[in-house]
Amino acid sequence: MTKKQVYNFAPGPAMLPAEVMAQVQAEFLDYHGAGMSIVEISHRSKEFAALAEESDRDLRALLDIPGNYKILFLQGGATSQFAMAPMNLLAGGRTGDYLHTGIWSGKAIEEARKHGKVNVAASSEKQNFMVIPGRDEYRLSEDPAYVYYAANETIGGGEFQTTPDVGNIPLVSDMTSNILSRPIDVSRFGAIIAGAQKNIGPAGLVVVIVREDLIGKPSANLPTLYDYAVMAKEGSMYNTPSTFGWYVAGLVFKWILKQGGVATMEHNAIARSAKLYQAIDQSGFYGNPVAPEFRSRMNIPFTLADEALNDVFLKEAKAANLVELKGHRSVGGMRASMYNAMPQSGCDALIDFMRDFEKRHG
Ligand code: PMP
């Protein structure tokens, strides 16, 4: 049966590359001649060991990850890392400095307070998170273990366009919604956390890239499963990992490499987001409240001039096979999430639909 072609603008779980999905389907019942499915084979098998090794190598190549960093493939989603990062990195009474730029960094702050000392070094809450504080606004503590920020606020639609400059202090960043969409200098980070279900693969997996020398000093009574050092030593297999998620992640890494790597992903993201923002700004009917220099390339919230038309917009969009455009409940309006797997044709179809809708209803 051929699948109905829809463009899925969901914030996550989100669209995955069509080629990857086809490969998953083709080899689902028989993984590499094993006579078993990837979801049936042991994580201790030689097939899985090969897959784990390749995914490590491919992600290292994609982000140019230095040898003194470990890549962990864990369960628990990105939210688990809001606790695990401070549990592992704030032991001994150290302070984590946090930049508060939206709902996701806010949740990380709340969670970190349960596990260590937190200093909110800068916040754009008063500006309703429509801007990202500049370096001159940071009030860093004396000797922070790290400076934490959410690289892309999936709900509000603000994105750091450059990596914050905090000298030698390690950065810890939640890159759940923009990892692999732009090059980064990993050596500036103590840890990078990224839930999989946007740019990496299916939900149920979180990727952590962590600097080796920072781990192994966890807080007292840390559950074994939450100890980065244990997970690093055991190759993320202290217990059974999310084998299917890890497998699909590996295929997505190969797909990105084949497309030309992160530079190509960035090029595509700039092209998609620039034309959608332009369409919004030129319309007079649609609006995006985020300051232009901080606008996300991945998640684009927008409003209609007349809110009463929201439901009609969503219904007509769905009929045009443009789905999952409803904005987050805390923000309202619409949101178009366009991750690496979103083809330009999807973005073009949305813009055409929006123009047509405005003509008919504007
Ligand atoms: N951080 C960011 C930036 C996110 O967008 C999300 C999910 N949308 C999360 C964290 C939480 O991810 P999870 O549901 O995997 O815990």
Question: For residue 4, what pLDDT is reported?
Answer: 83
- Judge residue 110's burial from the number of C-beta atoms within 10 Å of its C-beta, 0-12 exposed, 13-18 middle, 19 or more buried: exposed
**Is the pLDDT higher at 331 or at 142?**
142
Ligand 1 and 150: CB distance under 6 A: yes
Q: How wide is the angle at C-alpha 210 spanned by C-alphas 206 and 214, nearest 5°? A: 140
Q: Is 195 in the pocket of ligand 1 (CB under 6 A)?
A: yes
The full 3-state SS of 315-333, as one line of letters, equals HHHHHCCEECCECCCCCCC
Tell the residue number behind the tokens 């409940």, with chain if given.
329
Please compute the mean of the pLDDT values over residues 56-74 and round it to a whole number: 98
d(CA 83, CA 142) in angstroms, rounded, equals 22
- pLDDT digits 0-9 by tens, 3-32: 788 999 999 999 999 999 999 999 999 999
The per-residue pLDDT for range 295-337, each reduced to its tens digit, is 999 999 999 999 999 999 999 999 999 999 999 998 889 999 9
Q: What is the largest CA-CA distance in the chain?
A: 63
Does the domain spanning 21-259 belong to CATH 3.40.1390.20? no
* Cβ atoms 334, 310 nearer than 8 A: yes
Contact 63, 184 (CB under 8 A): yes
- Considering the candidates 58, 97, 198, 255, report the single residue annotated as catalytic: 198
The domain covering 260-361 belongs, at the CATH homologous superfamily level, to Aspartate Aminotransferase, domain 1 (3.90.1150.10)
Q: What is the pLDDT of residue 341?
A: 98
Q: Which atom of ligand 1 is nearest to the CA of 195?
A: 15
Distance 331 CA to ligand 1 centre (A): 16
Q: For residue range 256-288, what is the model confidence (pLDDT) as tens digits?
A: 999 999 999 999 999 999 999 999 999 999 999
Report the mean per-residue pLDDT for the chain.
Answer: 97
| Sign, Cα dihedral of 53, 57, 60, 65 | positive
The sign of the dihedral angle between the CA atoms of 77, 252, 345, 279 is positive
Q: Is 104 a catalytic residue?
A: yes
Catalytic residue flag (residue 198): yes
Q: Which amino acid is at 304?
A: L
In whole angstroms, give the CA distance from residue 74 to residue 70: 12
Residue 2: predicted pLDDT: 63
List the residue whose alpha carbon is closest to atom 14 of ligand 1: 77
Q: What pLDDT does residue 219 have?
A: 80
**What pLDDT score was predicted for residue 5?**
87
Classified as helix, coil or strand, 360 is helix
For ligand 1, is residue 176 a contact (CB within 6 Å)? yes
Determine the pLDDT at residue 218.
80
Tell me if residue 342 falls in helix, strand or coil: coil
Q: Token digits for 67?
A: 């040898």
Phi/psi at 273 (nearest 5 deg)?
-70, -40
For ligand 1, the distance from its centroid to the CA atom of residue 131, given in whole angstroms, is 20
| Catalytic, out of 56, 58, 70, 104 | 104
Q: 340 pLDDT exceeds 80? A: yes
Residue 76 CB less than 6 A away from ligand 1: no
Measured in whole angstroms, the distance separating CA 204 from the mean position of its chain's CA atoms is 13
165 is catalytic: no
- Confidence bin at 207 (pLDDT 50/70/90): very high
For the chain, give percent helix, strand, coil, nearest 5. Answer: 40, 15, 40
Question: How much is the pTM?
Answer: 0.97
Other Cβ atoms within 10 Å of 210 Cβ, number: 26
% of residues, the chain, pLDDT over 70: 99
Q: Which residues contact 47 (CB under 8 A, 6 or more apart)?
A: 31, 32, 34, 41
- Length reported for the chain: 362
Q: Give the torsion through C-alpha atoms of 267, 199, 170, 59, to 10 deg.
A: -90
Question: Has residue 1 got a pLDDT over 60?
Answer: no
**How confident is the model at residue 313, as a pLDDT?**
98
Ligand 1 touching residue 75 (CB < 6 A): no
Average pLDDT over residues 168-177: 98
For 236-253, what is each residue's pLDDT tens digit?
A: 999 999 999 999 999 999
Round the CA-based radius of gyration of the chain to a whole number and report it.
21
Q: Is the C-beta atom of 12 inside 6 A of ligand 1?
A: yes
Query: Residue range 112-121: average pLDDT?
Result: 97
Residue 52 pLDDT: 98
How is the chain split into domains, by residue range? Answer: 21-259, 260-361
